[in-house]
Amino acid sequence: QVQLVESGGGLVQPGGSLRLSCAASGNFFSVMAMGWYRQAPGMQREQVARIDGFRSTNYADSVKGRFTISRDNANNTMYLQMNSLKPEDTAVYYCNTAPPTKPWGQGTQVTVSS
């Protein structure tokens, strides 16, 4: 059964950092491109970062230079290092394949506020 579990969110001041983790169960992780997505209140879910099987990465312009996506195929885990956080980064963050094909997890809340 496919399951995606996000963790690592929290409340952080502007300029701070967080590291999100995504634990994936199932046999798909190592062979598929994966992505981090976020959804702010009243907004559509958007992809913020993507990493393929060759560890080639892409980022949304809004996070480029501040966020870093990485993956550990041996442990079916993906990460999102978020630095220089801004209030506009506040959202629920999710992981999924890229494009998304699996059931969404519960996400992890990131709140950037002073």
What confidence tens digit (pLDDT) does each residue in 40-54 have?
999 999 999 999 989
H helix and E strand count, the chain: 0, 10
Percent of the chain with pLDDT over 70: 100
What confidence tens digit (pLDDT) does each residue in 18-38 have?
999 999 998 888 889 999 999
Return mean pLDDT, the chain: 96
What confidence tens digit (pLDDT) does each residue in 90-102 have?
999 999 999 999 9
Instruction: Flag whether pLDDT at 1 surpasses 80.
Output: no
CA dihedral 99, 55, 60, 42 (to 10 degrees): 50
